[in-house]
Amino acid sequence: MIVGVPKETFPGERRVALVPTLVPLLSKASLDVLVESSAGTAAGFPDSVYADKGARVVETRGQVFSDADVVLQVRTPGAAGESGCNDLALLQQSQTLIGFSEPLAEPATARAVAKRGVTAFSMELIPRITRAQSMDALSSMATIAGYKAVLLAAETLPRMFPMMMTAAGTITPARVFVVGAGVAGLQAIASARRLGARVEAYDVRPAVKEQVESLGAKFVELPLETSVSEDAEGYAVAQDESFYRRQREMMARVVAGSDVIITTALIPGRPAPVLVTAEMVAGMEPGAVVVDLAAERGGNCELTQADKTIVQQGVTILGPTNLPATVPYHASQMYAKNITTLLLHLITDGMVAIDLDDEITRGTLISHDGNVVHPRVQELLQAAESSR
């Protein structure tokens, strides 16, 4: 069986789905690896290193798709924007496709992939269970995003993060407020603490308080009641607008006293909740910085614009949408480990086997035998058809 790795074509995407060090692992499983020329160059992995590890490097993208039984990508159609549409025509009947695909945001593309007869697995939908931790690409990429968000904030803020005792006097530490204590938020807390900032954090899930405090940050407690704060997989669930309104009112004081706000709140398959309003930004001191890691889904800050830097009343709002791609070497290493582990999990006797009794296979499978088979994606498609 041949595993193909095409070059990523989404603008600004510098990651690659497979790194050279993992080629021997696939070879050991009787899989041949085919890599499009320069697929790993932007991430720091030249063609020669792939060849040295046993991969076959080919010049054309078309050959990767035509020869491969399994295609590994960072961004498959659905997550690759307009550039992903070109790959739809290259997909082959009975081919297996694995990567980020945004199936809950782009269900129509999932159906288009299904119509090509492709068996597609989505890396976003890896269940958060113990035996799937090594496949959890969302957590891997969130770790990088949380780290890089702090570096962006530190670079933009017109003051230093740590407290310093100098001959010119004492420099007080920067005050950082992290909203959302998932993987990205916890990494942001840890990174800001390493740089010497005084860190506070808030999450709708009270259970994360211990994790926040273990990293040396103060957990901001807001007296808000909610019946359900997270789903069975540990993700925060959406609340009603009255909850978010009360939450914003109570957060305003903390926001006003912060030099840096890093927001990370996302609800799978839904627009990001607005947690920081324009009025709250206006209450911040000039020079303050907001880094909104939810920018791709509309942003947690009312003023955020995706991939743009906005200055409002002296406050800088950054809306990066793909921070892992700015650290492509390690992001590729981590993602490649995730996707390779999933691939090997799916293979039996050298072939991809669809075992719907397996929670990992069932949870990530989007399309098979010409149909969209994932229940949540099916529901979205049915809802779209009924609204016409």
- Tokens 């808030």 correspond to 202
Is residue 235 flagged as an active site residue? yes
Helix, strand and coil content of the chain, in percent to the nearest 5, comes to 40, 20, 40
- Please give the span between the terminal C-alpha atoms of the chain, in angstroms, as a whole number: 43
d(CA 41, CA 323): 18
Question: Which amino acid does the sequence have at 118?
Answer: V
**Annotated catalytic residue: which of 205, 235, 329, 362?**
235
- How far are the Cα atoms of 74, 75, 77, 134, 215 from residue 82, in angstroms, in the given order? 15, 11, 8, 30, 41
d(CA 31, CA 28): 7
Is residue 386 flagged as an active site residue? no
**Annotated catalytic residue: which of 128, 194, 246, 362?**
128
**Annotated catalytic residue: which of 27, 38, 92, 139?**
139
Among residues 292, 325, 313, 276, the alpha carbon closest in space to that of 13 is found at: 325
Burial class (CB in 10 A: 0-12, 13-18, 19+), 192: buried
Is residue 131 flagged as an active site residue? no
DSSP per-residue string spanning 82-126: HHHHHHHTT--TT-EEEEE--TTT-HHHHHHHHHTT-EEEEGGG-
Rg of the chain over all Cα atoms, to the nearest angstrom = 22
Question: Which amino acid does the sequence have at 291?
Answer: V
Q: Around Cβ 268, how many Cβ atoms within 10 Å?
A: 17
CA atoms in the 13 A half-sphere facing the CB of 173: 14
**Annotated catalytic residue: which of 69, 136, 203, 259?**
136
**Annotated catalytic residue: which of 30, 66, 94, 133?**
133
CA dihedral 132, 135, 141, 147 (to 10 degrees): 60
Cβ distance 179 to 258 under 8 Å?
no
Dihedral sign of CA atoms 144, 146, 149, 155 in order: negative
**Residues annotated catalytic, as ranges:** 128, 133, 136, 139, 235
